[in-house]
Amino acid sequence: MLDAEAVAEAQELLDDLLDWELTRDKWGQVSARLGELDAAVRADDSTAVVAATAALELLSPLMGPGMGKEPTTPPPDEVREKQVEIVDKLAR
User: Residue 25: which residues within 8 A CB-CB, separation 6 or more?
Assistant: 70
* pTM of this prediction exceeds 0.85: yes
pLDDT at 65: 59
pLDDT along the chain (92 residues), means of 10: 96 97 95 98 98 97 70 95 97 88
41, 49 Cβ separation under 8 angstroms: yes
pLDDT at 64: 65
Indicate the DSSP class of residue 23.
-
pLDDT at 63: 75
Count of alpha carbons within 13 angstroms of residue 53, beta-carbon side: 22
60, 20 Cβ separation under 8 angstroms: yes
